[in-house]
Amino acid sequence: MRKGFNGLYGLVRDRLECDPTSGHVFLFTNARRNRLKLIVYDGSGLWVCAKKLDGGRFRWPQRDSTIKKIVLTHEELALLLGGIDLTQTRPREWYRKITENEPAESLKTA
């Protein structure tokens, strides 16, 4: 987790193929899953926030090795940052208005 503003900006742009200035939050973790960095553009500049756990690990969502990115809802992000294992939770189906910038597949619930 040595990357700073420019390194994370480059990862979002080149590896994830997303626009770093879109206003979306991008979250990265180290191999041991005990540190993470968050990058977001607020309209006037980049924010980079970091967290190092004193003990334990973040429980990252399961993914296929061919997938470059995982899309989380803001509720899932809050649970992940709060130490909740997303594989042990179950979302309830309810109405959510889809915005034009939000892909419909990111709102699917199990």
Instruction: Quote the CA–CA distance of 70 and 16 in Å, as a whole number.
Output: 10
What pLDDT, on the 0 to 100 scale, is given for residue 16? Answer: 92
pLDDT in tens, the chain (110 residues): 789 999 999 999 999 999 999 999 999 999 899 999 999 999 999 999 999 999 989 888 777 778 888 888 888 888 888 888 887 887 778 887 877 765 554 444 44
Which residues have C-beta within 8 Å of that of residue 16, sequence separation ≥ 6?
26, 68, 69
What pLDDT, on the 0 to 100 scale, is given for residue 106? Answer: 47
Instruction: Quote the CA–CA distance of 50 and 64 in Å, as a whole number.
Output: 26
**Residue type at position 11:** L
What pLDDT, on the 0 to 100 scale, is given for residue 102? Answer: 59
- Name the DSSP letter for residue 31: T
What pLDDT, on the 0 to 100 scale, is given for residue 15? Answer: 92
Q: Torsions phi, psi of 108, nearest 5?
A: -65, 140
